[in-house]
């Protein structure tokens, strides 16, 4: 299987001869950044910030590939990236060296040497996001850039019931952004859980892949149903319409976290808690 996988991997995706492929676990607070991807305009992005920090450790330019290109304002606590380098550094040096040179809102959590055919994006078999809603009449003064505040009371049972119609393999055209570049709108949602923890409501969604704004559009639909503004059946109606404008408003990016990326067993990676950090005490969220 490994040998076949190497043969089937396009040459452009392999680490060049003489280079090591290093994978990193990365977490960041996205509210200060215009998303993951480096932009020609020179605006602040996570990719540029991390590449510049790693270049100081490698003493040479570093180019990163990530598992999920998060949007402006979106956070991550389970992002996976890789880069190729000829620099000889210990794994601890990659982690600690990067973190010394990174701002307070980006951290490297682990480093690991990978096979030449590993690819953070194309070898991923599943991704998992959590969307965190703070449900109270008064907006919170703390963590207000790390949650989505909804002042209207939300009925979690209604949201939970509506969510079940989205689980499975479907055409999610009604939940994709107009600028989405994915080749196919058909994705498989493995689970979509809705849980409540005090004033926080957490949507936990795992799928083989996601469309642009898919989780935020799902969150918008479920919150609309949670307020009673729309019936539970509306989620299924939006899905079946395959038309984006039927799905209402795209939810705010601040509540969204990329929490986990999964790969086949041939690519074992270090395991950490499923974040974000302020939810790690809620054992009922599960792994």
Residue 280 pLDDT level (bands cut at 50, 70, 90): confident
Residue 1 pLDDT level (bands cut at 50, 70, 90): very low
Residue 286 pLDDT level (bands cut at 50, 70, 90): low
Q: Specify the residue for token string 């976290």.
A: 257
- For the chain, give every residue range classified as CATH 3.30.70.660: 124-257
Identify the residue with better confidence: 3 or 161: 161
Reported as a single tens digit per residue, the pLDDT across 85-99 is 999 999 999 999 999
pLDDT at 163 over 70: yes
Per-chain mean pLDDT for the chain: 93
Residue 11 pLDDT level (bands cut at 50, 70, 90): confident
Q: Percentage of the chain surpassing pLDDT 70?
A: 95
Identify the residue with better confidence: 113 or 285: 113
The fold of the 2-122 domain, in CATH, is Alpha-Beta Plaits (3.30.70)
pLDDT at 10: 83
Query: What is residue 219's DSSP assignment?
Result: H
Reported as a single tens digit per residue, the pLDDT across 164-223 is 999 999 999 999 998 888 899 999 999 999 999 999 999 999 999 999 999 999 999 999
- Contacts for 284 with CB less than 8 Å, ≥ 6 apart: 195, 197
Identify the residue with better confidence: 180 or 3: 180
Distance CA 131, CA 255 (A): 5
- Contacts for 32 with CB less than 8 Å, ≥ 6 apart: 44, 105
Query: What is residue 198's DSSP assignment?
Result: T
- Contacts for 84 with CB less than 8 Å, ≥ 6 apart: 15, 16, 19, 20, 21, 22, 63
Average pLDDT of span 104-121: 97
Reported as a single tens digit per residue, the pLDDT across 218-270 is 999 999 999 999 999 999 999 999 999 998 889 999 999 999 999 999 999 99
CATH 3.60.120.10 is right for the domain spanning 124-257: no
Three-class DSSP category at 241: helix
- For the chain, give every residue range classified as CATH 3.30.70.580: 2-122
Catalytic residues: 71
- The answer to pTM > 0.85 is yes
Query: What is residue 120's DSSP assignment?
Result: T
CA contacts within 13 A on the Cβ side of 18: 1
DSSP H helices, the chain, are 2-8, 46-58, 91-101, 156-163, 214-226, 234-241
Distance CA 215, CA 239 (A): 13
Reported as a single tens digit per residue, the pLDDT across 20-69 is 999 999 999 999 999 999 998 889 999 999 999 999 999 999 999 999 99
């Amino acid at each position: 299987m490994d040998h076949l996988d190497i043969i089937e991997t396009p040459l452009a995706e392999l680490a060049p001869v003489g280079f090591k492929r290093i994978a990193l676990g990365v977490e960041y607070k996205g509210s200060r950044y215009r998303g993951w991807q480096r932009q020609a305009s020179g605006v602040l992005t996570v990719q540029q910030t991390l590449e510049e920090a790693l270049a100081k450790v490698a003493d040479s330019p570093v180019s990163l590939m990530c598992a999920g290109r998060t949007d402006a304002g979106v956070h991550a606590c389970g992002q996976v990236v890789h880069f190729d380098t000829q620099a000889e550094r210990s794994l601890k040096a990659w982690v600690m060296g990067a973190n010394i040179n990174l701002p307070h809102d980006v951290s490297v959590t682990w480093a690991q040497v990978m096979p030449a055919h590993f690819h953070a994006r194309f070898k991923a078999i599943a991704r998992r996001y959590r969307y965190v809603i703070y449900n109270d009449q008064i907006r919170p003064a703390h963590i207000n850039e790390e949650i989505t505040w909804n002042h209207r009371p939300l009925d979690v049972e209604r949201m939970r019931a509506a969510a079940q119609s989205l689980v499975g393999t479907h055409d999610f055209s009604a939940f994709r952004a107009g600028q989405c570049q994915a080749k196919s709108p058909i994705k498989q949602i493995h689970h979509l859980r809705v849980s409540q923890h005090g004033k926080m409501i957490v949507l936990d969604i795992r799928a083989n892949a996601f469309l642009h704004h898919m989780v935020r559009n799902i969150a918008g639909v479920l919150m609309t149903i949670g307020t009673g503004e729309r019936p539970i059946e509306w989620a299924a109606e939006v899905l079946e319409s395959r038309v984006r404008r039927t799905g209402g408003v795209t939810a705010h990016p601040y509540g969204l976290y990329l929490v986990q990326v999964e790969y086949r067993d041939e690519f074992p990676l270090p395991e950490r808690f499923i974040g974000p950090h302020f939810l790690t005490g809620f054992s009922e969220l599960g792994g």
